[in-house]
Amino acid sequence: MRLLDSVALARLRSLRLELRRLAAEGPAAGRHRGLLKGSSRDFTQHRPYAPGDELKSLDWKAYARQDRYSVREYAAESVLTTHVLLDASGSMAYCEGGRPPKFELACRLALALSYLVLCGGDAVGLSVFAAQPGPSLPPRSSLSQLEAMDELLSGLSAGGETDLGRALKRAAASIKRRCLVVLISDLLGEPEGVLRAARALRARRHELLVLQVLDPCERDFDYEGLSSFEDMERADGLACDPAQLRGAYAEEFERLLRFYEGGFHRCGIAYGAFFTGARWEVDLVRFLERWR
């Protein structure tokens, strides 16, 4: 694969994405306890026999003890579906200091999490978005899905505007069954709109992971001398002296991170910030350990 090398895959093999605590809903049999009654190895309760029940569901040992017909019920098991939502707007193309673009790190994180999902026998799908919905792959549980995702992402580049809140609303409308939703974005937009859409997803009982991808320069603002800054999603520009703005910028950026961290925490949403140039595998392990 182009985006996940053998070293990264070797590190990921020691990880597991623990999804058993999520009640899954899906049409296929799997390893997760679902919300409905069905067939599995986990017995839940007896209930009285009712006309129309299959005879094979009767518990004859209970009948011998109690002299009445009882039916054994088990917790249904199903495959948990994960939907990965990947931001491909223009701001995701930003890079500085010889580091890779944010979009490249986002793609690696998307593939790494998808790999962990697939190794657990679950299904994962991918949706790329910018101003409009981009290419997507429907959820599948075969490991060949990882190759398809790698091929799709390797041919993409970030560009254009986006509205994260609207993208999340579209995702919420298209996802019918309860599932795990993974949002990977720099979250550089309207924070209130993002949180409103995230709360709407949680209200539909989806589990949500948010991975914010940033470049260290966006945090430190360590530019020197008179500089010209251009908006990567629109044609706007700004000339300024970074030294005069650094203090106020750092304060505002920290406020934004605290806003997201606090807002997602109150909604029961797992949130983590990932920076280009760092060891993303180590940061991913820490993020998943906190979530678990």
Confidence (pLDDT) at 151:
95
Confidence (pLDDT) at 195:
92
Confidence (pLDDT) at 161:
80
Of 88, 76, 69, the closest CA to residue 127 belongs to 88
Separation between Cα atoms, residue 168 and residue 87, nearest integer Å: 11
- pLDDT bin (cut points 50, 70, 90) of residue 181 is very high
Confidence (pLDDT) at 24:
43
Separation between Cα atoms, residue 238 and residue 229, nearest integer Å: 5
Please say if the pLDDT value at position 29 is more than 50: no
- pLDDT bin (cut points 50, 70, 90) of residue 40 is very low
Question: Following DSSP, what letter does each residue of 190-252 receive, concatenated?
Answer: -HHHHHHHHHHHHHTT-EEEEEEEE-HHHHH----SSEEEE-SSSS-EEEE-HHHHHHHHHHH
Which tokens hold the place of 87? 């931001």
| ∠ Cα 18 284 160 (to 5°) | 115
Which tokens hold the place of 273? 């910030």
Strands 207-214 and 270-275, by their bridges, are parallel
Confidence (pLDDT) at 127:
93
Q: What is the CA radius of gyration of the chain?
A: 23
Separation between Cα atoms, residue 49 and residue 68, nearest integer Å: 8
- pLDDT bin (cut points 50, 70, 90) of residue 235 is low
Mean pLDDT over 81-88 rounds to 94
For the whole model, what pTM was predicted?
A: 0.79
Confidence (pLDDT) at 74:
62
Please say if the pLDDT value at position 68 is more than 90: no
Confidence (pLDDT) at 115:
93
Separation between Cα atoms, residue 276 and residue 263, nearest integer Å: 24
Specify burial of residue 38 (Cβ count, 10 A radius: 0-12, 13-18, 19+).
middle
Confidence (pLDDT) at 20:
55
Of 73, 80, 82, the closest CA to residue 34 belongs to 80
Separation between Cα atoms, residue 211 and residue 224, nearest integer Å: 29
Confidence (pLDDT) at 50:
80
Please say if the pLDDT value at position 55 is more than 50: yes
Which tokens hold the place of 290? 């906190």
Q: Domains (ranges, CATH) in the chain?
A: 6-23+79-291 (3.40.50.410), 32-78 (no CATH)
Encode pLDDT of 273-291 as tens digits.
Answer: 999 999 898 899 889 888 8
- pLDDT bin (cut points 50, 70, 90) of residue 36 is very low
Please say if the pLDDT value at position 166 is more than 50: yes
* DSSP count for the chain of H helices, then E strands: 9, 10
Confidence (pLDDT) at 75:
55
Encode pLDDT of 110-130 as tens digits.
Answer: 999 999 999 888 899 999 988
Inter-residue contact 123 to 81 (CB < 8 Å): yes
Confidence (pLDDT) at 53:
76
Please say if the pLDDT value at position 223 is more than 90: no
Residue predicted with more confidence, 23 or 243: 243
Of 112, 135, 111, 140, the closest CA to residue 124 belongs to 140
Exposure string of 58-74, with b = 16+ CB inside 10 Å and e = fewer, is ebeeeeeeeeeebbebb
